[in-house]
Amino acid sequence: MELVTPHIGLVVWTTVSFLILLTILGKFAWKPILGAINERERFIEDALLKAEAAKEEMSRLTNENDALLKQARAERDVILSEAKKLKDQIISEAKDAAHTEGARMIELARIEINNQKAIAMADVKNQVATLSLEIAEKVLKEQLADQQKQNELVSQLLKEVKL
pLDDT 10s digits, 62-111 = 999 999 999 999 999 999 999 999 999 999 999 999 999 999 999 999 99
The pLDDT of residue 143 is 67
- On whether residue 98 sits in a domain, the answer given is yes
CA distance linking residue 54 with residue 46, whole number of Å: 12
User: Is residue 1, in this structure, part of any structural domain at all?
Assistant: no
**Which residues 6+ apart lie within 8 Å of 150 measured at CB?**
143, 144
Confidence of residue 162 (pLDDT cuts 50, 70, 90): low
> Higher pLDDT residue, 61 or 150?
61
DSSP H or E segment with residue 16: helix 8-24
Residue 101 vs residue 159, higher pLDDT: 101
pLDDT at 163 over 70: no
- Over 80: is that where the pLDDT of 158 sits? no
Kindly indicate the confidence band of residue 3, based on its pLDDT and cuts at 50, 70 and 90: low
Instruction: Supply the pLDDT for residue 20.
Output: 95
- Nearest-5° Cα angle at 13, 7 to 18: 125
Integer Cα distance of 160 and 75 in angstroms: 100
Q: How many other C-beta atoms can be found within 10 angstroms of the C-beta atom of residue 7?
A: 9
C-beta of residue 149 within 8 angstroms of C-beta of residue 143: yes
Domain extent, residue 91, equals 8-160
pLDDT digits (tens, 9 = 90+) for 5-44: 778 888 899 999 999 999 998 888 888 888 889 999 999 9
| Distance in angstroms between the alpha carbons of the first and the last residue of the chain | 194
Q: Is residue 156 part of a domain?
A: yes
What count of other Cβ atoms lies within 10 Å of the Cβ of residue 68? 10
Structural domain includes residue 45: yes
Model pLDDT, residue 30: 82
Contact 143, 153 (CB under 8 A): yes
Any domain includes 2:
no
92 falls within a domain: yes
Buried/exposed code over 82-117 (b: 16+ C-beta within 10 A; e: otherwise): eeeeeeeeeeeeeeeeeeeeeeeeeeeeeeeeeeee
How many domains does the chain contain in total? 1
Q: What is the pLDDT of residue 43?
A: 96
Tell me: pLDDT of 61 over 70. yes
Name the packing angle between helices 147-160 and 30-145 (round to 10°). 110
Q: Is residue 3 in some structural domain?
A: no
Question: What pLDDT was estimated at residue 1?
Answer: 52
Q: Which of 162, 144, 163, 145 is nearest to 154 (CA)?
A: 144
Q: pTM, whole model, 2 decimals?
A: 0.43
